[in-house]
Amino acid sequence: MAPEIGIIGGTGVYNPDILTGIREEIMSNRYGQAKVVFGTYKGREIVFLARHGATHSVPPHLVNYRANIWALKEIGVRRILATAAVGSLNEGMAPGNFVLADQFLDFTKNRLSTFFDGEELGVIHTDMTHPYCPSLRKILATAAQSLDLTVHEKGTYVCTEGPRFETPAEIRMYHILGGDLVGMTSVPEVVLAREAGICYATIAMVTNFAAGISPTELSHQEVLDVMAANGKNLSTLLMNTVEI
Ligand code: HPA
């Protein structure tokens, strides 16, 4: 049976170790290649994709988002649970908290961000009123209730081009514009999933307060450390969600 659920693991989430009967495959499509891992959790078929590669070797601006989403579509995935490490611009969203993003602000610059480039699939303008799937966000919120976690059910994700972190001036601007979180990967991933007709939700995990809000300079190691400290919570939330 084809898996209906896809998990895209972001920074700190490379290993589908909770799955059994694991089988790896490299899928080729018109956009490139995507490495996926098939497995089973409590009788449910799941496919896992490490966004940055198994060893975090692909930076956010070079991820082949189109090849990844197209591969999941070809497999027959109907729902994607994506994880993301984020900085926070919102004092109420502290490191260790989870946020189910409901909106985004797109500040990416150089990414191939559509399947509808006027070629084979034509020109289509996709509605983005609800970029992150409301029904999947609800399931995630329900799954989180039984866990001792702080989960915010809404948040605006500001997507930057990266791979550098932001300046404090940029963070002040994003805050004025209504941003809550800052990260480097949700766009175009969420957009492509919408274009592909796949229900997509992001579980953002706050790893730090953003530049200028944090009392210290940022480092990738800090992001990895907080992800590692909360990895168990994140996988429990993911697996509770898959069970619903
Ligand atoms: N900025 C951008 N991306 C991030 C951050 C941040 O502060 N933290 C984790 N990913």
Ligand 1 neighbours, Cβ below 6 Å, are 85-87, 160, 165-166, 182-184, 207-208, 210, 218, 223
* Structure-token pair, residue 189: 């991933």
Which SS3 state, helix, strand or coil, does residue 35 take?
Answer: strand
C-alpha distance across the termini of the chain, in Å: 19
Question: Is residue 56 pLDDT above 90, yes or no?
Answer: no
Q: In this prediction, what percent of the chain has a pLDDT beyond 90?
A: 76
At 63, the pLDDT band (50, 70, 90 cuts) reads: very high
* Residue in 90, 157, 165, 172 to alter for ligand 1 test, most ligand atoms within 8 A of Cβ: 165
User: Is the distance from CB of 181 to CB of 158 less than 8 angstroms?
Assistant: yes
Residue 52, annotated as binding a ligand: yes
* CA nearest ligand 1 atom 2, residue: 183
Neighbouring residues of 214: CB distance < 8 A, sequence distance ≥ 6: 87, 208
Question: Is residue 235 pLDDT above 80, yes or no?
Answer: yes
Q: Mean of the pLDDT values across residues 83-93? A: 97
CA distance 84 to 221: 15
At 1, the pLDDT band (50, 70, 90 cuts) reads: confident
Ligand 1 centroid–CA 192 distance in Å is 22
Alpha-carbon separation of residue 60 from 90, 147, 165, 225 (angstroms): 23, 30, 12, 19
Residue 51, annotated as binding a ligand: yes
Paired sense of beta strands 32-41 and 156-160, if any? unpaired
| Main-chain phi, psi angles of 79, to 5 degrees | -135, 135
Question: Is residue 29 pLDDT above 90, yes or no?
Answer: yes
* CA nearest ligand 1 atom 3, residue: 183
- Note the pLDDT of residue 84: 95
* Residue in 174, 186, 208 to alter for ligand 1 test, most ligand atoms within 8 A of Cβ: 208
Q: Which amino acid is at 79?
A: R
User: How many C-beta neighbours within 10 Å does residue 24 have?
Assistant: 12
Of 199, 205, 210, nearest to 226 (Cα)? Answer: 205
At 121, the pLDDT band (50, 70, 90 cuts) reads: confident
Which pTM was predicted?
0.95
- Judged by average pLDDT, the poorest of 51-55, 57-61, 148-152, 167-171 is 51-55
Residue 185, annotated as binding a ligand: yes
ipTM surpasses cut 0.95:
yes
DSSP per-residue codes, 52-106: TTTTT-S-GGG--HHHHHHHHHHHT--EEEEEEEEEE-STTS-TT-EEE--EEEE
Q: Mean of the pLDDT values across residues 28-38? A: 95
Q: Mean of the pLDDT values across residues 1-30? A: 87
Question: Is residue 24 pLDDT above 90, yes or no?
Answer: yes
Q: How does pLDDT run across 190-233, given as a tens digit for each residue? A: 999 999 999 999 999 999 999 999 999 999 999 998 888 888 88
Ligand 1 centroid–CA 141 distance in Å is 23
- Note the pLDDT of residue 181: 98
- Note the pLDDT of residue 11: 80
Mean pLDDT of the chain: 93
Q: How does pLDDT run across 160-187, given as a tens digit for each residue? A: 999 999 999 999 999 999 999 999 999 9
Max Cα-Cα span within the chain? 50
| Main-chain phi, psi angles of 19, to 5 degrees | -80, 150
